[in-house]
Amino acid sequence: MDSRLKFGLRPRPNIGLRGSLPDAITSKSQPAPTNRQSVMQAPVLVLNATFEPINVTAVRRALVLMLKGVAQAEETNHAEVHSASKAIQVPSVIRLLTYRHIPQQSRALSRKNILLRDRNTCQFCGNIFSAAELTLDHVVPRSRGGHSSWDNLVACCYTCNNRKGDRTPEEAGLKLQRRPRPFTLHTSRQLMRLIGHRDEKWRKYLFY
C-alpha cells in the first residue's frame, strides 16, 4: 500500500501530457513541473518539405507531428522527453515530410496574432508586456466607423488604452510606434528571425 494512503493522505497526482502525446511523454531533463512546461512550450522552427521556413510552433506540437510521421527533426536541443518505452531529443527545427501550400495570407485575425505581429509591445508607449497585460485597441474607434481589421487593431497596454479612450491617437496626444499592417509571410519571417536570434541552429534556414 502506498505510504500516503496509509496515513490518510491523497496519492500524488501523475503529472503527464494526457491526450497529446503517446505514453504520457514528459521531460526527463526538467523534473520540476514549471520547468517541464517551459520546455514543452519552447519555440520550434517549422520548415516545409522544401526546407522553406513557414511557421514557429511549440515543442509539444512539434513532437506530436513527429510521432504522427508528419515531420522529422532537422535540429535538436540537449534536452530530452521520454515515455515508458522511448526517449526523444527535444527538436529545435522540424521539417514537414509532405509539401504544404502556404497562401499569401495564412494568419487569421485574432488577438493572439495581433499580439504576435506587434511583438507584445504596446503600440503607443513602446513598452513590452505579457499577453495578460495587453489588450487590443481600435486606432479609429468603432464609434467613428473604425473596423476590426489588421490595419486598425493594435496591441495596447491598459494604461494607454484608458488614456486614449474613445478618441483617435492624435486627439489623445498619442503616437503610434508603427502603422498596423496585415500579418503576411514577410512578417512571419521577421518574427522567426527575432525568435530564433539566440538559436544558431535556426540561422542557416532563415538566410542570416
DSSP letter for each residue of 132-197: GGEEEEESS-GGGT--SSTTTEEEEEHHHHHHHTTS-HHHHT---SS------HHHHHHHHHHHGG
Task: Convert the pLDDT of each residue in 111-149 to its tens digit.
Answer: 988 888 888 899 999 999 998 999 999 999 999 999 999
Task: Convert the pLDDT of each residue in 24-77 to its tens digit.
Answer: 444 444 444 445 557 888 889 999 999 988 888 889 999 999 999 999 999 998
Task: Name residue, grid cell 520546455.
Answer: 39
Q: Domains of the chain by range and CATH?
A: 3-96 (no CATH), 111-172 (1.10.30.50)
Say what the pLDDT of residue 53 is: 87
DSSP letter for each residue of 114-143: HHHHTTTB-TTT--B--GGGEEEEESS-GG
pTM of the complete model beyond 0.85:
no
- pLDDT greater at residue 128 or residue 200: 128
Say what the pLDDT of residue 108 is: 77
DSSP 110: -
DSSP 198: G
- pLDDT greater at residue 67 or residue 194: 67
Lowest mean pLDDT across 5-14, 83-92, 156-165, 168-177 = 5-14
Q: What is the rounded distance in angstroms from the CA atom of residue 182 to the CA atom of residue 69?
A: 33
